[in-house]
């Protein structure tokens, strides 16, 4: 089982073919950064066309059993997620509507304060908002995973505490390895994983020690160390692969419609675009190298199989069904 639990590529047949070459059984893809509900639906409409036009390579994933179905038919199951709660606007009823449309992960905030929670770039973090607490309950009810990748510490700790179902950080690394604002404190990682939540390791260079020059050994050693602290069964990959995207897309991710000036996010005025990926992880065909790197770090076969996809698969099994349907 091989699952990458976060990508946002400039989708094309070429990339879907690379997913097959890399033997990806499932990929969680971002379908909205700052889009409102209607705009998110437009993005789903685009995916519906891709599912039709590339039915030999991909299929829409809604449940863990769809990953099995994709595997059986040599395709990749695509699971929808949003990096911001903007698709539900100010309307809690849209949580169920979005779940019906296939959305399985939603971040409660993206860098900034949202209606629900605080983003990791804000100065102050008052924690989950009144609406945030209601939406966490509703996401629990319908079977949508709370993703705190771009949220700040207090909001994340409260989400882990308030949520009746395990939550996820789909794409980030431990700040103890590389102290980026987007990486996570040991307290946050522990709060999420000790409640059976998941941490997906990111390969986005700004989240890596030494950035684009990060070595495979350093990355895998960091994973092995984290496995020792929190247990390998709570770990997976969320590569944050943004393949073939023009720099205008990273500008949209960072600045959306919320500012008239340019927000460089993790970049800078000197390097405002997408950073180069490390040479050992350029695209979906590089998962074998990652697997070898993990084995070379002393993780055993079972642990590596879990990190490469088995753990996300089990998390999918228990996370996507409405609460009454979970056995």
Q: Looking at the chain, how many residues does it have?
A: 327
* Cβ at position 46, least distance to its own copies in Å: 8
49/257 with CB nearer its own copies: 49
- Residues at the interface with its own copies (CB under 8 A): 37-38, 41-42, 44-46, 48-49, 91, 93-94, 96-97, 100-102
* Cβ at position 79, least distance to its own copies in Å: 15
49/124 with CB nearer its own copies: 49
Count the neighbouring beta carbons within 10 Å of the beta carbon of residue 161: 13
User: In this structure, what token pair is assigned to residue 201?
Assistant: 């390791």
* Cβ at position 289, least distance to its own copies in Å: 38
Closest-CA residue to 157 (of 132, 138, 140, 131): 132
32 φ/ψ angles, rounded to the nearest 5 degrees: -155, 140
For 188-208, give the secondary structure using H, E and C.
HHHHHHCCCCEEEECCCHHHC
Q: How far apart are CA 27 and CA 289, in angstroms?
A: 18
87/200 with CB nearer its own copies: 87
Count the neighbouring beta carbons within 10 Å of the beta carbon of residue 317: 14
Q: How far apart are CA 72 and CA 227, in angstroms?
A: 30
Count the neighbouring beta carbons within 10 Å of the beta carbon of residue 120: 23
49/130 with CB nearer its own copies: 49
Q: Confirm if 271 and 247 have CB atoms less than 8 A apart.
A: no
* Cβ at position 139, least distance to its own copies in Å: 14
* Cβ at position 275, least distance to its own copies in Å: 34
Q: Confirm if 106 and 146 have CB atoms less than 8 A apart.
A: yes
* Cβ at position 199, least distance to its own copies in Å: 31
88/208 with CB nearer its own copies: 88
221 by DSSP, 3-state: which?
Answer: helix
137/195 with CB nearer its own copies: 137
93/301 with CB nearer its own copies: 93
* Cβ at position 41, least distance to its own copies in Å: 6
């Amino acid at each position: 089982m091989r699952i990458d639990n976060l990508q946002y590529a400039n989708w094309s047949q070429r990339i879907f073919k690379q997913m097959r070459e890399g033997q990806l059984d499932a990929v969680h893809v971002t379908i909205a950064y700052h889009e409102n509900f209607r705009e998110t639906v437009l993005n789903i409409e685009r995916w519906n066309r891709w599912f039709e036009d590339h039915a030999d390579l991909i299929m829409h994933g809604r449940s863990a059993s769809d990953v099995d179905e994709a595997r059986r038919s040599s395709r990749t199951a695509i699971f929808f997620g949003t990096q911001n709660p903007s698709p539900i606007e100010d309307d809690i009823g849209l949580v169920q509507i979005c779940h019906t449309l296939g959305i399985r992960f939603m971040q409660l905030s993206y860098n900034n304060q949202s209606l629900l929670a605080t983003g990791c770039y804000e100065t102050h973090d008052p924690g989950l908002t009144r609406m945030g607490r209601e939406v966490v309950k509703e996401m629990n009810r319908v079977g949508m995973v709370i993703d705190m990748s771009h949220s700040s510490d207090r909001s994340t700790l409260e989400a882990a505490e308030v949520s009746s179902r395990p939550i996820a950080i789909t794409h980030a690394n431990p700040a103890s390895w590389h102290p980026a604002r987007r990486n996570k404190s040991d307290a946050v990682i522990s709060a999420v994983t000790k409640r059976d939540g998941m941490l997906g390791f990111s390969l986005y260079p700004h989240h890596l020690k030494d950035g684009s020059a990060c070595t495979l050994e350093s990355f895998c050693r960091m994973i092995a160390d984290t496995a020792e602290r929190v247990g390998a069964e709570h770990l997976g990959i969320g590569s944050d692969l943004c393949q073939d995207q023009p720099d205008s897309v990273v500008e949209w991710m960072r600045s959306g419609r919320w500012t008239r000036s340019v927000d460089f996010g993790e970049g800078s005025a000197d390097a405002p675009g997408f950073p180069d990926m490390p040479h050992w992880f350029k695209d979906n065909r590089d998962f074998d190298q990652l697997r070898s790197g993990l084995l070379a770090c002393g993780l055993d076969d079972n642990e590596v199989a879990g990190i490469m996809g088995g753990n996300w698969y089990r998390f999918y099994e228990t996370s996507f069904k409405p609460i009454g349907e979970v056995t």
